[in-house]
């Protein structure tokens, strides 16, 4: 299991970013969440097997969201071991 925290910058709020990320997550064996930040960025925290996490993050980059993303910062974090599914945090 691995964990990743990714911050997306650009026009990533008000365009359905969180909902699209949640929908994409349904196609992968990952757990985690996505939320808007007050500074205009979107944060994603995701955990799972390395291939699943990497393919999920690639799917975000290659989705219709790509045109809204101007920069992203990815960090390793401890994998989430409790809870299930992928949620939108408010």
- In this predicted model, what pLDDT tens digit does every residue of 12-40 receive, in sequence order? 999 999 999 999 999 999 999 999 999 99
pTM: 0.92
- Whether 18 is catalytic is yes
Share of the chain above pLDDT 70, in %: 98
List 4, 22, 35, 36, catalytic entry: 36
> What domains can be seen in the chain, in order of their start residue?
2-88 (3.30.70.100)
Residue 19: per-residue pLDDT: 96
List 4, 18, 41, 61, catalytic entry: 18
User: Dihedral of CA 85/79/37/66: which sign?
Assistant: negative
- Whether 36 is catalytic is yes
Residue 81: per-residue pLDDT: 74
CB-based contacts of 33-38 (< 8 A; 24+ apart in sequence): 33/86, 33/87, 33/88, 33/89, 34/86, 34/87, 34/88, 34/89, 35/88, 35/89, 35/90, 37/7
């Amino acid at each position: 299991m691995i964990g990743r925290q990714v911050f997306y910058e650009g026009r990533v709020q008000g365009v359905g970013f969180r909902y699209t990320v949640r929908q994409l997550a349904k196609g992968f064996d990952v757990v985690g969440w996505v939320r808007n930040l007050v500074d205009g960025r979107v944060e994603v925290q995701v955990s799972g097997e390395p291939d699943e996490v990497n393919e999920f993050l690639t799917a975000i980059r290659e989705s219709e969201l790509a045109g809204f993303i101007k920069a992203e910062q990815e960090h390793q974090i401890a994998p989430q071991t409790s809870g299930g599914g992928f949620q939108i945090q408010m």
